Amino acid sequence: MKTVAIFLASLCWLGANATIWRVNSNPQVNAHFIGINEAVAHWTVNNNDTLYLENGSYFPASNVTKTLTIIGPGFFLLENDSTYANPLPALIQSLTLSCNGSKIIGVKVIGTVSVSGNNNIIERSQTGGFDNGNYISGTTIRQCYVAGNISSAYYVSSTIYNNIIIGLISLTSGNSSHNIYNNVIYYNNGNNSYAVTAVNSSVINNIIIREPVLPDPNQNRTEYCINFGSANNANSSFARNLMSQSPSALFPQNLYNQVKENIFKLTGSTDANWKLKPGSPAIGYGSNGDDCGAFGGPMHYVLSGLPWLLPRIIEADIPSGGNGNLIPVHIVAKTQEE
């Protein structure tokens, strides 16, 4: 009972103006709901409520049609220190945001996040990529680990910052506009796609590495990060980025011919790999003297996507029995302060 009381106290701490609901796919846990879809569809769940996805849960393809805050425990929880006593993430097979103004934090989406509403925020989450619908504005993707592509051929406006993107960015509609900054973009693929194509965009303080660096007998340009002359990059500015491609006279305010071994630590957990090593050329190269990449700037990437200010139990010793009605319980909790 003591562990339940502590857990509920943590949930109540999140806010008092809207209802907070526990969602756990294990029916034996006796949470409010066993699935995201069940919670969204239920008449008691209203706009501006919060769904808390509990460790170890698995949810099939889910569609959010209400304005909600959805909070999971993060990802890579076994790889980084001081995450949870139960280091299992909450898994979602795929996620569709058919809503306006929702906020998704600390979830792990195996497949793609599809956005078809306005002013949605996805932060501190792991995803298999993003796909945006037509005439979508105000999408924010920040502090995420994206193991896939961020793409749309439709009208979209978005802000993409402080992410680790193991894939490409392709945002090519002529009516779109994007702010793309302080990301690590690492695209390792033998095809002839570029790491970044983004029309009407500001692209600054990023580290963009395109591998493998291949010979170019057919002029397919697979060695390049960005085709600056393409119409798909029209009206975009590129400054204070580190890139693995050869220099461009069009945009001299970048560092070219960079290799990841000289920039990153490449040790530790899956996401800690992309921290800057001592002496990295990305240190202080960004605008205003910031570091380039996901760990630079005012809202830097946080390992494992641990939700900000959310208390979590990092140690728990709960015996199966006790003395009479008393059970000695030892719990250590920590609040994420960054």
The string of DSSP letters for 197-253 reads EETTEEEES-EEEEE-----TT---TT-S--TTSGGGTT-EEES-EESSPP-TT--S
Average pLDDT (244-259) is 93
Decide if pLDDT at 82 tops 70: yes
Q: How far apart are CA 123 and CA 117, in angstroms?
A: 16
Greater model confidence, 265 or 322 = 265
The predicted structure's pLDDT at residue 328: 66
The predicted structure's pLDDT at residue 144: 98
pLDDT digits (tens, 9 = 90+) for 100-153: 999 999 999 999 999 999 999 999 999 999 987 778 899 999 999 999 999 987
Q: Computed from CA positions of residues 175, 153, 227, 198, in that sequence, does the dihedral angle turn out positive or negative?
A: positive
Q: Which pair of tokens denotes residue 309?
A: 């200010």
The predicted structure's pLDDT at residue 136: 87
Q: How far apart are CA 38 and CA 44, in angstroms?
A: 11
Q: Are 242 and 212 in contact (CB under 8 A)?
A: no
Quote the mean pLDDT of the chain.
Answer: 87
Report whether the peptide linkage leading into residue 212 is cis, meaning its omega lies within 30 degrees of zero: yes
pLDDT digits (tens, 9 = 90+) for 213-251: 665 555 555 567 898 888 889 999 999 999 999 899 999
Which of the given ranges, 164-178, 217-231, 271-285, has the highest pLDDT on average? 271-285
Q: Which pair of tokens denotes residue 128?
A: 């298999």
> Which of 133, 100, 97, 98 minimizes the C-alpha distance to 119?
100
Residue with tokens 């306006």: 100
The predicted structure's pLDDT at residue 333: 64
Decide if pLDDT at 273 tops 90: yes
Q: Are 105 and 89 in contact (CB under 8 A)?
A: no
Residue 141 backbone dihedrals phi, psi, to 5 degrees: -120, 115
